[in-house]
Amino acid sequence: MRRVMMLLPLLWSFAALAETPKTVLVVNSGEASLSVIDYATHSVLRKIPMLREPHHWVMTPDGRDLIIGDTVANELVVLDPDTYDIRRHITVPDPYQMLFTPDGTKFVVAGLARKQVDVYEAGTYKLLHRFHLVSMPSHLDFTPDSSTAFVSLQGTNKAAALDLRTMTVKWIAPTGPAPAGIMYHNGHLLVAIMGSDHVDVLDAKTGETVGHIPATNGAHQLFISPDHKTLFVNSRIDSTISTYDANTFKPIRTYRVPGGPDDLIFTPDGKVWATLRFVQKVGILDLQTGALETIPVGRSPHGIYIKGAVNMGGDNK
Amino acid sequence: MNIGAPFDLVAGWLQEHAVLPLLYYFGFMQWEEWSFGWSLFAVYGVAQVIAALLICWPLEHFWPVERWKDHKAEWVDVLYTLINRVGFLPLITFVLFTQIQMSINGWLADQGLLAPTLERLAPWFEGRPVITFFLYAIVLDLGEYWRHRLSHVFNWWYGLHSLHHAQRQMTFWSDDRNHVLDEVIGFLWFTVLALIMGVPPLQFPMLVLLLRLLESMSHANARISFGWLGERLLVSPRFHRAHHGTTAAGRVSVNYGGVFPWWDMIFGTADFSPTFAATGDPSAEEVLATGGYWAQQAAGLRRMWRELVAP
């Protein structure tokens, strides 16, 4: 009962949403398409073709454009966030994980296959600086003042802090094997260790490891609930989504979610939608009962978007 | 109905329950993002071997061109098939293709250029993967025609390729009996062409496997001809058998096409005579015909070297 009570705030946090979402957009990385799902009926309405291998999405700071990164096509596909009509294409090398800085002035792209983190001017998408980082820059996050970007280096078991004012590397620090999800959190940096069973806690200023949060095998991605009270950690090997108190990191509950949960999105009814990479489905997890409903989508679904879900964690944080 | 869906589900299962646990155990989880492609490649490889077996074995059993008492010389071809289609080679092929394509296309994007793709040249093709798949297959088969033809033109190259021709008991397993160096050259040739055309990475293994499934069938020891029109649309066991005939081994041969006979018709190398020739290469060392895997690899290298240093 206590666990249920801790999760109830999730239901209240969507008051900011003007209306119930109409559709959910899923990025099918393995078949170059987007699936549009009816939020109410859970039926797949249509598929939108992409060019090669889209993975993640990001909303522009003004909320007018939804951007999908197609890594193998080396392009950003700019969509209308309501109708999903394609507005234009922008050439950007290997746009894997991508985020706008919190102040909305810069657009930062981690190129997983290209060993680089590119910093662009938001709006014009003019390249300001390229950080060459070995290897496999994977996930990104920022300090709230937008001065520093953090990136996990999946291929070399490290994390890096990048000064976005001077365009220099602040520090590169060791982590556990195959670091993936990364999140700035109250002066600390949380790094999901995919090659092990925990989340590293680093001092965001120095990169020094100051603690570990136990997780299940293959800890992959980190999300914060819309009310910022609950930390979500999903795991690749054990196929779980685990919840923790975001302040104390005390475990709350672990949900078994077969099929490789990856990106998550939080919906107004207090549920979590997750892309399930291995089974070509999206899962809808009821956090109170643990029940899981699934919807077939495309091959290797990765990113998932619901309008109004900005600032709700994950790669859309 | 997506005909690839069952393969995707099997590949996903393989990824979740075998590939990722292995990567996790051995400390290679950094490669997890690509592991679905590897799994899919293996699944298609196994499916292709099973499909070839189900289709070709009855054909060879009920309508053989030749019957042999001893099948020992064929077992090495089975080994070649398993290595080349579901073993390490396809994995390396896929990993290299993905990495090379990402590097080249990323570099082009740095210069403000976009790599050519069918969909960029003609946007109508976007979202029509079945059509683009077959267009890519046709162009790649043309490329294969010229690679194959050149492997007969250059003596040193034929030194390697003679391993493929030396089999006197040719069956559907024989398509993959190639020298590993010949396979590498073939991979580079195929990959460069696929890169130039912008073949999607996850279509690449399927293209390789589809083309090679059809090529397996064309090697079958089956008395099958597709008729006047059919012989001109698709390479049949009879058409390809003429290429493996004892009189066609070496520099001057016929019927180089792998899947479509059109290229032989266009470039004047087609032979539609209705005979089923005896196969083999009389000029090859006996070990190339009946030796074990490693003995054949060594003999292929020796023959290539002799041709290279020959005056």
Q: With helix as H, strand as E and coil as C, how does A6-24 read?
A: HHCHHHHHHHHCCCCCCEE
Q: Please, where are the H alpha helices in A13-165? A: none
Nearest CA in chain A to B199: A52
ipTM of the complex: 0.81
pLDDT at B118: 80
Sort out which chain A residues have CB atoms less than 8 A from B122's CB and list them.
Answer: none
Q: Do A299 and B8 touch (CB under 8 A)?
A: yes
State the smallest CA–CA distance between residue B212 and chain A in angstroms: 22
pLDDT at B236: 95
Label residues B158-189 b or e (16+ Cβ within 10 Å = b).
bbbbbbbbbbbbbbbbbbbbbbbbbbebbbeb
pLDDT at A198: 96
Nearest CA in chain A to B16: A278
Average pLDDT over residues A88-115: 93
Average pLDDT over residues B123-127: 80
pLDDT at B233: 95
CA atoms of A212 and A198, how far apart (whole Å): 6
pLDDT at A293: 97
Other beta carbons within 10 angstroms of residue B227's beta carbon come to: 9
Residue showing tokens 């399927």: B206
Average pLDDT over residues A40-53: 92
Which amino acid, residue B244?
Answer: H
Average pLDDT over residues A180-195: 95
Per-chain mean pLDDT for chain B: 87
CA atoms of A95 and A118, how far apart (whole Å): 9
Strands A198-203 and A209-214: antiparallel
Sort out which chain B residues have CB atoms less than 8 A from A239's CB and list them.
Answer: 16
Q: Which one of A36, A70, A74 makes the best mutation probe of the B interface by having the most chain B beta carbons within 10 Å? A: A74
Nearest CA in chain B to A30: B202
CA atoms of B141 and B262, how far apart (whole Å): 10
Q: Which residue has the higher pLDDT, B130 or A110?
A: A110
Q: Compute CA distances B77 → B66, B167, B231, B283, whole Å.
A: 17, 9, 26, 20
Q: Do B114 and A91 touch (CB under 8 A)?
A: yes
Residue A4 has pLDDT above 60, yes or no: no
pLDDT at B226: 92
Q: Where are the domains of chain B?
A: 33-309
Query: CB distance from B96 to chain A under 8 Å?
Result: no
Q: Do B30 and A178 touch (CB under 8 A)?
A: yes
Q: Do A52 and B36 touch (CB under 8 A)?
A: no
pLDDT category, B202, cuts 50, 70, 90?
Answer: low
| Among B30, B36, B19, CA closest to B201 | B36
Burial label, A27 (beta-carbon count in 10 A; 0-12, 13-18, 19+):
buried
Nearest CA in chain A to B18: A237
pLDDT category, B124, cuts 50, 70, 90?
Answer: confident
Q: Find out whether A55 and A29 touch, Cβ atoms under 8 Å.
A: yes
Q: Do B16 and A278 touch (CB under 8 A)?
A: yes
Average pLDDT over residues B37-64: 88
CA atoms of B213 and B211, how far apart (whole Å): 6
Residue-range definition of the domain harbouring residue A189: 2-316
pLDDT tens digit sequence for B213-237: 888 999 999 999 999 999 999 999 9
Average pLDDT over residues A153-162: 95
Domain count, chain A: 1
Residue A205: CATH number of its domain: 2.130.10.10
pLDDT category, A227, cuts 50, 70, 90?
Answer: confident
Q: Which residue has the higher pLDDT, B104 or B290?
A: B290
CA atoms of A243 and A74, how far apart (whole Å): 35
Which of A2-6, A69-73, B265-269 has the least mean pLDDT? A2-6
pLDDT tens digit sequence for A213-226: 999 999 999 999 98
| Among B257, B245, B258, B256, CA closest to B214 | B258
Of B102, B112, B115, the CB nearest to A113: B102
Q: Compute CA distances A73 → A50, A81, B35, B200, whole Å.
A: 9, 21, 19, 9
Beta carbon pairs, A and B, within 8 Å: 120
Q: Which one of A217, A299, A302, A315 makes the best mutation probe of the B interface by having the most chain B beta carbons within 10 Å? A: A299
Give me the residues of B, 265-284, that contact A with CB < 8 A. Answer: none
Sort out which chain B residues have CB atoms less than 8 A from A275's CB and list them.
Answer: none
Residue A136 has pLDDT above 70, yes or no: yes
Residue partners of B184: CB distance under 8 A and separation at least 6: none
pLDDT category, A179, cuts 50, 70, 90?
Answer: very high
Sort out which chain B residues have CB atoms less than 8 A from A217's CB and list them.
Answer: 24
